Amino acid sequence: METKENIINFLERISKGFNFNKIWLKNSFLKTRAISMLGFLEKEFNFEEFWKLFIFGNINGSLIKFRFYRERKVLELLKKEKLILGENKIILFNQDFYFINPFEMISQIYSSIINDQYHLKDFLKEDSVFMDVGANIGVVSVFASQIIKKGKIFSFEPSGSTFEILKKNLEPYKKICEILNFALGDKSGKVKFVEFYRGFGGNMVYNSEERSIFEKKFQNNQTLIEEVEMITIDEFISNKGINKVDLIKMDVEGYEINVVEGAKETIFNFSPVIVIGDIAFQKIEEIKNTIKKINPKYEFKQENKIDNILICYS
């Protein structure tokens, strides 16, 4: 049985990543809403009602309808496993899975597991070698571990705080998962990495060419800039003595060309499938041309079911 204090403490913890919840928590309305959750918890934990109360409030009905469909689908995946309010975790594939905020966690499970937007089921086998570039808290890597049993998963996440969550989530899969606190790009060395809101996606390597985007986002006081180590995929493959790469999933927020430029030998020698997520429309042709110059055998398919996805294959 969860107590009133558990619920309010939970809301306070997850609110640390975004300002509007800090404002809400100063208002008795949200605390009243949180306390009202006890009614649902005393009966049976009601996922849909929880998110309706906490996330949506008075948002218009059409958005609520869409969001609830997504939450219900996530709940079906989690079966009857309960969201553990006191610890910011769920049970995913029979293992503890930790998260920083529920918004991003639900979004990633819905897009990457339920809808398999990176096509892991299509491109991975039991002995595959998979590179998860921009692993975040590990939703995609955990999903890949349900398929890969004799191969290898390399999960890259530059953000220090997110990396700590990733380590916890991939601990049960350490026999096949290697977790790496690096950024990937077109060169090796130290770079600035920007985390705009803790626990949300959208964090990125500082790119002077997109300075206006950074300056706009820097206006919020939640932004964290840290210096991280960057390496190239080619350097990593060479150092590890890896003799094949089957799939590279990439979610790097505008840094796609740099990552591809640092993977020329890998793309030429191994022809891995590359699935790029949340890609800007204006960069698609440039990415296609860059990959084609490296390996002319590549073809491309674009999808936009949830995020804008580019599938590169030979």
**Domain limits, the chain:** 4-110, 118-186+233-313
Check residue 243 and give its pLDDT. Answer: 96
Q: Distance between CA 80 and CA 45 in Å, rounded?
A: 9
Q: How far is CA 88 from the centre of its chain?
A: 16
Place of tokens 């949830």: 306
Q: Distance between CA 203 and CA 201 in Å, rounded?
A: 6
Q: Measure the CA dihedral 277/281/286/288, to 10°.
A: 50
**DSSP per-residue letters across 55-109:** IITT--HHHHHHHHHHHHHHHHHHTTPPPBGGGTEEEETTEEEE-S-HHHHHHHI
Check residue 72 and give its pLDDT. Answer: 64
Mean pLDDT of residues grouped by 10 in the chain (314 residues)? 51 44 43 45 46 43 49 64 59 86 77 93 98 95 97 94 93 97 92 64 55 49 73 97 97 90 98 94 93 98 90 97
Check residue 302 and give its pLDDT. Answer: 95
- Please choose, from the candidates 157, 171, 10, the residue with its C-alpha nearest in 3D space to the C-alpha of residue 83: 10
**Identity of residue 214:** F
Check residue 143 and give its pLDDT. Answer: 96
- Please choose, from the candidates 282, 280, 273, the residue with its C-alpha nearest in 3D space to the C-alpha of residue 249: 273
- Given a contact cutoff of 8 angstroms between Cβ atoms, the answer to whether 130 and 148 are in contact is yes
Largest CA distance in the chain: 61
* 79 phi-psi bin (left φ>0, alpha ψ -120 to 50, beta other): left
Q: Distance between CA 207 and CA 211 in Å, rounded?
A: 7
- Please choose, from the candidates 107, 81, 105, the residue with its C-alpha nearest in 3D space to the C-alpha of residue 94: 81
Check residue 110 and give its pLDDT. Answer: 84
Check residue 54 and give its pLDDT. Answer: 47
pTM: 0.76
- Please choose, from the candidates 64, 66, 61, 99, the residue with its C-alpha nearest in 3D space to the C-alpha of residue 83: 99
3-class DSSP assignment, residue 226: strand
Write down the CATH number for the domain with range 118-186+233-313: 3.40.50.150
Check residue 117 and give its pLDDT. Answer: 95
SS (H, E, C) 151-166: CEEEEECCCHHHHHHH
